[in-house]
Structure 1
Amino acid sequence: MPFTYDPLWKLLIDKKMSKEALREKIKTSSTTIAKMGRGDNVSLDVIDRICKELDCNIEDVLKHVKK
């Protein structure tokens, strides 16, 4: 996949928030969080909810990885 969610995982550590806590706050499934853990695509709606919840920008959530 050309994207990584590493910036999000680092942000969660900085905010002392677990993936499960994020999942509950943005009201998404554990499958969606697992997809992100694998670097799979998720909808922009999910990314939007994450940005709103964490008060951050999209580049704080994901990063484009050049092959």
Structure 2
Amino acid sequence: MCYAIYMQADYRKLWKLLIDKNMKKTDLIPIAGVSTNIVAKLNKGEYVSMDSLAKICKALNCDIGDIVTFGEK
């Protein structure tokens, strides 16, 4: 029997970091160079590519662990 384990992304750390920096979610679009679709996916806790997360980390000068955690779905 094969079980698939899906990891749920949790972006609450990202939202807290934005609050701490006095920024809005939509501020990620111009500063990180991500699309509105990416921000919408983040808002829903959906999968976002590592490339997009790397852009956000670079723009916010942080590490991946500062913006996302993963848990079992």
* TM superposition score normalised by structure 1: 0.90
Q: Of the candidates 42, 52, 59, which is equivalent to residue 48 of structure 2? A: 42
Unaligned runs of 5+ in 2: 1-6
Q: CA deviation at 1:20?
A: 1.2
Structure with the bigger percentage of strand? 2
State the Cα RMSD in Å.
Answer: 1.2
Which residue number in structure 1 is paired with residue 68 of structure 2?
62
Structure with the bigger percentage of helix? 1
Which residue number in structure 2 is paired with residue 20 of structure 1?
26
Q: Which has the larger radius of gyration?
A: 2
- Count of residue pairs brought into register by the alignment: 67
Q: C-alpha distance in 1, partners of 2:15/2:30?
A: 16
Q: CA deviation at 1:66?
A: 3.4
Q: Equivalent pairs: percent with the same residue?
A: 42
Unaligned runs of 5+ in 1: none
